[in-house]
Every structure is written in C-alpha cells, then in structure tokens.
C-alpha cells in the first residue's frame, strides 16, 4: 500500500528524513510541516552587506564513521559535492573559533597557553574550571540536565557563556531543558 507521510519540522533532521522517505517505494508523497517561514532549523547563514557570511548554526560535517559516511552519501546523491569546502586541522579556520555572547564575537582560546589566560567572555582562565572538574563528585540526580551537569562540574559561568550556544544548535533546545537520558547519551 502506498502512503503519504508527514514530517514534523523542516530542520536538518526533518529534511534528511524527508529525503530518505522520498526514496522509499512505499511512500508516494512526503509533506514537510514547518512552523517558521524558512527551512533549515538551526542551520542558518547570515550574509552581511559587506559580503561577510556568519554561520548561525553548525557549519561543518565530520565525515567519520557510519553517520559521516551516510551524510557524505546524501551530499553526493543531492549533487552538492561542489559545495563542500574541505578544511584540514592545520587550516586557520580550524584553529580560530569564536563565540557570540552579549552581542559580541569573542575568540576562544586555542592551544594549551590559552587555557591559562583570561579570555573574554570568561572572567578567569579556563584551567581553573578544568581543575575544579577533577575534584567534583558524581551527581545524585539520574536525570540531571546538561546545564546542571556542566555547572556542577565546570562552574556556573561555563554553561551560561558556551554550553547553551553550542547545545541549542545541535539539539534545538537549551541545556537546561535536556538531560543525557533525553539525548540518549
């Protein structure tokens, strides 16, 4: 029997699911239901008037393992190979990471030396958070939120400045609303 399938959400997960469903001989029609005015979910590029492009979500593919292999296969099947820009670990783009906090771009520390320096938006060197993490005991809450876990292990400043910015792009939620069990970790 032929079926019509509705996919909830036009983010990368919904679009990938739609792509694979459209290839199934048992599915005659795929309907993507998206609540916003654009597809892509957390994947979003902003082009400024000076030509600079800011990626406001994930900007890379890690072609490792089965998931990476499947992603690269889908890129090929969609004819997007020419749009992939390989970046090696030694490339300047791999070494320079930025965090957008409080309306400003902050260059994250790179290398061992950076861990010992106070770098905005952080109020102290990150090495102190790492040392604190070693001394922290295991939590008691079996469904502790990611935010609580990172706060307990690394200090309250780390999840506020970094974790939520990173977490929402990967999981479409804030770290306060997600737990490792929710994420199937």
Other CB atoms within 10 Å distance of the CB of residue 147: 21
With tokens 């036009």, the residue in question is 10
pLDDT score at 76: 93
Tokens of 120: 């905005």
Concatenating the DSSP letter of every residue in 139-182 gives PS-TT--HHHHHHHHH-THHIIIIIHHHHHHHHSS-GGG--TTT
CA distances in angstroms from 96 to 62, 86, 127, 177, 184, listed in the order given: 17, 16, 19, 29, 30
pLDDT score at 160: 60
Beta bridge mates, 45 = 55
Q: Print pLDDT tens along the chain (185 aa).
A: 679 999 999 988 899 999 999 999 999 999 999 999 999 887 888 888 998 887 777 667 777 888 888 888 999 999 999 988 777 778 887 777 777 777 778 888 877 888 898 888 888 888 887 787 777 777 787 777 777 777 777 777 666 656 555 555 444 444 454 445 544 44
d(CA 149, CA 159): 9
pLDDT score at 170: 47
pLDDT score at 172: 46
């Amino acid at each position: 029997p032929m079926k019509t399938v509705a996919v909830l959400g036009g983010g990368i997960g919904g679009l990938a699911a739609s792509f694979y469903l459209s290839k199934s001989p048992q599915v005659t029609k795929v309907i993507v239901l998206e609540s916003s005015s654009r597809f892509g979910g957390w994947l979003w590029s902003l082009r400024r008037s000076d030509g600079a492009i800011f990626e406001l979500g994930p900007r890379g593919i890690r072609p490792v393992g089965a998931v990476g292999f499947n992603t690269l296969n889908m890129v090929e099947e969609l004819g997007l190979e020419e749009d992939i820009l390989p970046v090696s670990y030694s490339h300047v783009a791999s070494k320079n990471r930025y965090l957008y906090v409080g309306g400003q771009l902050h260059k994250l520390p790179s290398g061992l030396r950076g861990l010992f320096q106070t770098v905005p938006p952080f109020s102290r060197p990150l090495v102190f958070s790492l040392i604190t993490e070693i001394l922290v005991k295991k939590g008691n809450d079996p469904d502790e939120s990611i935010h609580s876990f990172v706060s307990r292990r690394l200090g309250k400043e780390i999840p506020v400045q970094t974790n939520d910015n990173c977490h929402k792009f990967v999981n479409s939620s804030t770290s306060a609303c997600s737990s490792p069990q929710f994420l199937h970790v």
